[in-house]
Amino acid sequence: MILLDVLSALGLLLGTLILIVTALGVVRFPDFYSRLHAAGKGDTLGLAFVLLGLVATAGLSLVSLKLVFIVFFVFVLNPTATHALARGAWVCGVRPWRATGEPFLQREGQMTDEERDEVVDDHTGGA
């Protein structure tokens, strides 16, 4: 019993720690991609630890089964969503940040600025 309690406490602690680090990263990182990097990875792992810690408290029950389901879906869906976001940003021409401040020119697969304007217009029913 005590072992389970310790496990649960460990999971919750580790999970919240990772989530705090994630939040810090989202606030402190310089551009979209690095923030996404922090949010996508940290969120998934932190949430998983918290939920697994809760599973340890709940023991073998329906609640645990539901929690395990949530962990599974978070593990599958969070990276997918992050991937979709990053790819979308890349295609739309969001340029990564450079410490030296040199411009990051357009690469293959990215839209040019004019193309992006067109897409924005298309989506807002522009004039």
Partner 1 sequence: MMRPHTESLVVRFIARRSVPFIQLFALYVVAHGEDGPGGGFQGGVIFASAFILLALTEGWGRGRSRMPEPVSDALMPAGALLYAGIGLVALLLGGGFLQYASLAVGGDQHAQHLAHHFGLIGIEVGVTITVAGSMVTLFFEMARPKHFLNVPRRRRRHRPDPDA
Partner 2 sequence: MLEFLLSHYNYAIYIALMMIGLYAILARGNLVKKIIGLNILQTAVFLFYISIGKVDRGTVPVIWPAGERPPGFENVPYENPLPHVLMLTAIVVGVSVTAVALALIVRIKAAYGTVEEDEILEADELRDREGDA
Q: Which residues would be at the binding site for partner 2 (CB under 8 A)?
A: 124-127
Q: Give the tokens for residue 28.
A: 């402190």
Output the smallest distance, CB 16 to partner 2, in A: 25
34-73 mask for partner 1 (x: CB under 8 A)?
---------------------------------------x
CA 93 – CA 89 distance, rounded (Å): 6
Binding to partner 1, residues 104-123 (CB under 8 A): 114-115, 118-119, 121-123
Q: Give the tokens for residue 50.
A: 């918290």
CB 46 within 8 A of CB 18: yes
Residue 47 corresponds to which amino acid? L
Nearer to partner 1, 23 or 81 (CB): 81
